[in-house]
């Protein structure tokens, strides 16, 4: 056996990961170097301001309700549940009783999570006003 076995089945994958990492960090370094060298060095107040027609904006009120983000997170959890249940449904007969018990425990844990979110008021819509 030689000191370097290039016939290992994972050697090609390791080499690709190392090569991709070197290329990635090289491109990041190159982009930051080029950006720093060619960026404008003038710090004029007018150039750094926001370009708009009309009066200068003082402050923009946040009109987005945070409830949108809570609903989006709950929707993502529901999607992940479906992603885990789909392969289980495809091989349901092969898994037998053990697979059925696993999915029942999985659904019960998700139910506890949704019940907790319901008790915390995540499903009630609040008004912005």
Q: What's 123's domain CATH number?
A: 1.20.58.1610
21 shares its domain with 69 = no
Task: Tell me if 82 is assigned to some domain.
Answer: yes
Q: What is the domain count for the chain?
A: 2
Task: Tell me if 69 is assigned to some domain.
Answer: yes
Give kind and range of the element (H or E) at residue 88: helix 67-90
Task: Tell me if 49 is assigned to some domain.
Answer: no
Which position has the token pair 């983000």? 69
Task: Tell me if 98 is assigned to some domain.
Answer: yes
The CA distance from 123 to 74, in Å, is: 9
33 shares its domain with 80 = no
DSSP assigned state of 41: -
Residue, of 34 and 38, whose pLDDT is higher: 34
Domain encompassing residue 86: 65-128
Of 35, 69, 95, residue with least CA distance to 104: 95
What is the tens place of the pLDDT at every residue in 94-115?
888 988 999 999 999 988 988 9
Task: Tell me if 94 is assigned to some domain.
Answer: yes
83 shares its domain with 33 = no
What is the tens place of the pLDDT at every residue in 74-87?
888 888 888 888 88
Percent of the chain with pLDDT over 70: 74
Give kind and range of the element (H or E) at residue 56: none
Calculate the alpha carbon distances from 19 to 4, 59, 93 in Å: 18, 47, 44
The CA distance from 32 to 26, in Å, is: 10
């Amino acid at each position: 056996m030689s000191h370097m076995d290039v016939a290992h089945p994972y050697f090609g994958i390791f080499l690709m990961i190392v090569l991709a990492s070197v290329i990635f960090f090289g491109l990041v370094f190159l982009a930051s170097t080029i950006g720093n060298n060619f960026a404008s060095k003038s710090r004029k107040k007018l150039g750094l301001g926001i370009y708009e027609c009309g009066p200068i904006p003082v402050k923009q009120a946040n009109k987005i309700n945070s409830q949108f983000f809570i609903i989006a997170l709950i929707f993502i959890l529901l999607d992940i549940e479906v992603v885990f249940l789909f392969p289980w449904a495809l091989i349901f007969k092969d898994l037998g009783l053990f697979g059925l018990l696993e999915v029942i425990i999985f659904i019960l844990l998700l139910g506890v999570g949704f019940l907790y979110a319901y008790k915390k008021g995540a499903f009630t819509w609040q008004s912005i006003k």
